[in-house]
Structure 1
Amino acid sequence: MRPLTVRLARNLSQPLTLLNWWQYQRSRHPANDVILVTLPSAGTHWLRTMLAQALIESYDLNERIQSIQHETLIPTFLDKKQRFKYNENINIPRIQHSHAPYSWLFRRRRILFLVRDLRDTLVSHYRVAQPRLRLPEDFSAFIRGETIDRRRHHDLKSRIQFLNSWSTGLQKSYDFKVVHYETLRTNTYDELQDILSFIGLEPLTSKQLSQAVEVGSVGNMKKLENENSERPFQKVSGSPSKYQDYFNENDKNFFTKEASLHLKNVFGYDYSTW
């Protein structure tokens, strides 16, 4: 995410764009708006893809998933230019995505909150970003934030800050549902059905639900990414992170201490054992 000062400067320099975005956000009652909030590297593209296909199946939309971005079906909340294509049809739930920490903009909205074991998210992000962003080859330096542009690189401190902000923020939402990546991975069909029910989509048949899961499969998402990007970022990984292979003993001690001292809500994870 861009620094706050940069975002404020852009908003002030483009007041009409900001006004149009604010009117668009207010075009629906916040309680009828769903924000998909995800911890970076927690399975964002996977869940967004399944949700996008579920929208298509549930409302028989004349759409086809051709990318892992989904700007018109599940736009990014704070992107001032992205819009939900079917916003005028209030019968279709509007789902927007955000990686942002909690702020007053999210108050009284329904929140779908996707989390994953912090250790896995660190390794997953590092594996994807290190070759392209030229992060230090030393994983230990990465998790400690010993890089330029720490917020962009999502080190341990910034992830703890993100979770802490939402630990409080969820209580200020109209309604919320916490989804664990690990449960979604092991019980995809049932979890996805529960998610769709929370969002308020029309019920899917078994065939439609299977189609949504298939579109979100690793093989299909890798194909979409490679076919629709000049420089694939390789966001889609078919193998688990195996964080034990990356954390040395000093890293484990550092992580355990930081989580114990600063993390307000572990969201069901046990960070005291490895």
Structure 2
Amino acid sequence: MDNTDEYLLNFKGYNFEKLITDVEHLEMMEDFEIRDDDVFLVTYPKSGTIWTQQILSLIYFDSHRNSTENIETMDRVPFFEYNIHNLDYVNMPSPRIFASHLPYYLVPKGLKNKKTKILYIYRNPKDVLISFFHFSNWVATLEATETIEHYLEKFLDGKVVGSRWFDHIRGWYEHRHDFSIMFLSYEDMKKDLRGSVLKICSFLEKELSEEDLDAVVRQATFQNMKSDPRANYGNIINKEIGARSNGYFLRKGTIGDWKHHLTVKQNERFDMIFKKNMKNFPLKFVWDMNED
């Protein structure tokens, strides 16, 4: 284990957010007992995690959908590797839904039982990069970077929480046959939220009435989530993690924001590395809102 960095903790070749990581918990993850009806939401950071945590909360919990209980999304769908609120994961009632940024090789062995469902949400990596840059400059537990040029190098080298984006998505995709997993893109969710919620429900074998489906879709729009304190992680940032300035966990949630930030040269460099690393990779990436 490499402890040289103030913000990153490298455990078995993967970078964790050091200031909120409990190493004992990491060491027990592999043997964590999985139930058949557990659900894991897996993402690389800044790929639509909170959005999908909210969607899953709305699908699974009537009391979240009807706002009869004021439980934060982060406690409905807690982070598996960062148990910030010290929840009792072992005795949580079923169905347990976890969010995770883990690479395929660090998840509990029980996930290979093929019964437990994994939903993998991916996003075009240029937008991930820009979102991560802003987020790292805002949240006190991540290292701030003055320029996008500097952050681009860190991101491409995997010197960020989550390590290399390319390794994360390729690892999960190439080992997809070991798991019961569905891949869904952030951009598809943006373009057709209702259709995406239906796909998620179908994969998870959850049937919703038309009325409940409408309620999920309505509450899971970006604007509605941004104004929902349960979903915007507001308390966690302000009280527990700390921020360098005022802001929101959910920033823009758009497709193609990278065009406003990357220079032609930076974009060409990114494209070159993307082509080299993602050769023959079958998942489609949408780089611009106007693409079909």
The TM-score with structure 1 as length reference comes to: 0.76
2:276 alignment partner AA? L
2:175 alignment partner AA? G
2:147 alignment partner AA? D
1:95 corresponds in structure 2 to 97
CA contact (8 A) 2:127 2:257 kept: yes
Give 1:53-202 correspondences, 5 Å limit.
53-57=58-62, 64-69=69-74, 71=75, 73-79=76-82, 81-83=86-88, 87-89=92-94, 93-103=95-105, 105=108, 106-108=111-113, 109-132=116-139, 133=142, 135-145=144-154, 150-152=159-161, 158-173=164-179, 175-201=180-206
Cα separation, partners in 2 of 1:45 and 1:249, compared to 1, 3 Å: same
Give the whole-Å Cα distance in 1 for the aligned partners of 2:269 and 2:220.
35
**Which of structure 1's runs of 4+ aligned residues deviate more than 4 A?**
5-9, 58-63, 83-89, 146-149
2:192 alignment partner AA? N
Give the whole-Å Cα distance in 2 for the aligned partners of 1:47 and 1:27.
21
The answer on 1:221 being equivalent to 2:225 is yes
The answer on 1:267 being equivalent to 2:262 is no
Q: Report deviation, 1:121.
A: 1.0
Q: Report deviation, 1:44.
A: 0.8
Give the whole-Å Cα distance in 2 for the aligned partners of 1:149 and 1:261.
16
What is the count of residue pairs matched by the alignment?
A: 254
The TM-score with structure 2 as length reference comes to: 0.72
**Residue 41 (structure 1) aligned to one of 38, 41, 46:** 46
Cα separation, partners in 2 of 1:148 and 1:68, compared to 1, 3 Å: farther
CA contact (8 A) 1:33 1:94 kept: yes
**Residue 253 (structure 1) aligned to one of 268, 271, 275:** 268
RMSD, matched Cα: 3.7
Q: Which moved more, 1:223-232 or 1:206-215?
A: 223-232
Q: Report deviation, 1:151.
A: 2.5
2:10 alignment partner AA? P
Q: Which has the higher helix share?
A: 1
Cα separation, partners in 2 of 1:39 and 1:162, compared to 1, 3 Å: same
Q: Which moved more, 1:3-12 or 1:103-112?
A: 3-12
Deviations 1:102-155 (A, max 9, x none): 116243343211011111111112122224456223111101118999222x6x
Give the whole-Å Cα distance in 1 for the aligned partners of 2:197 and 2:187.
13
Q: Report deviation, 1:205.
A: 1.7
Deviations 1:15-65 (A, max 9, x none): 8xx4xx778x42623xx4321111211111011112102111299999635
Please, which runs of 5 or more residues in structure 1 have no aligned partner?
none
CA contact (8 A) 1:111 1:170 kept: no
Q: Report deviation, 1:83.
A: 4.4
Deviations 1:66-125 (A, max 9, x none): 4342x2x22222346444698444xxx432211111116243343211011111111112
CA contact (8 A) 2:46 2:132 kept: yes
Q: Report deviation, 1:250.
A: 1.9
Please, which runs of 5 or more residues in structure 2 have no aligned partner?
1-7
CA contact (8 A) 2:79 2:99 kept: yes
Q: Report deviation, 1:166.
A: 1.1
CA contact (8 A) 2:43 2:120 kept: yes
CA contact (8 A) 1:38 1:98 kept: yes
Give the whole-Å Cα distance in 1 for the aligned partners of 2:120 and 2:253.
23
Q: Report deviation, 1:216.
A: 2.5
